[in-house]
Amino acid sequence: MRVLGVDPGLTRCGVGVVEGVAGRPLTMLGVGVVRTPSDAELGDRLVAVERGIEAWLDEYSPGYVAVERVFAQHNVRTVMGTAQASAVAMLCAARRGIPVALHTPSEVKAAVTGSGRADKAQVGAMVTRLLRLDAPPKPADAADALALAICHIWRAPAQNRLQQAVAAHRTPGVSRTPGTSRTPGAPGRLAR
């Protein structure tokens, strides 16, 4: 599995490509940052992010793109820029038919370090160790992008099995216990 991790941002958008499967050593194929000038117009910055991500997609042809899920912050301006860069990454992947997965920062930290409250230094140290690098990738956005890719490689098999189970459960004609219903309060519902 080859995954492009994207740590979205308007000024610095971290990107990193990791290849491997869960339970085996992983390999970093590339890491970097797509930068835009903070004094440029918003539209121009988004185009620059798009071009940067497209270049990474062209060079590495990932099978998946893992993007950090935007969460509410106190600084609305920062969260808006992050959300806009995130949307650009998702658009670039969708345009090519590449599946996109969103992971929260705490999911990524927990997957990589074992703690959803890990700081950036701990994430960088574990990324360095897991990918057998000489030093933590700089800036932290680049290390975070690699952590996203690692998280997706490790979590994807379980998520896929869960999605398949949910899809099978929702498929018409799937046998259920007689006398039960999926709709609360519907006739035939079992009393508890």
Question: Which run of H or of E encompasses 7?
Answer: strand 2-7
Q: Where are the beta strands (DSSP E) in 9-146?
A: 12-19, 27-35, 64-68, 100-103
DSSP 91-117: HHHHHTT--EEEE-HHHHHHHHHS-TT
Active site residues: 7, 68, 141
Please report where in the chains the tokens 């290849």 appear, as a residue. 19
The 8-class DSSP code of residue 63 comes to: S
Please report where in the chains the tokens 């990107």 appear, as a residue. 15
The CB-side HSE value for 176 (13 A sphere, CA atoms) comes to 14
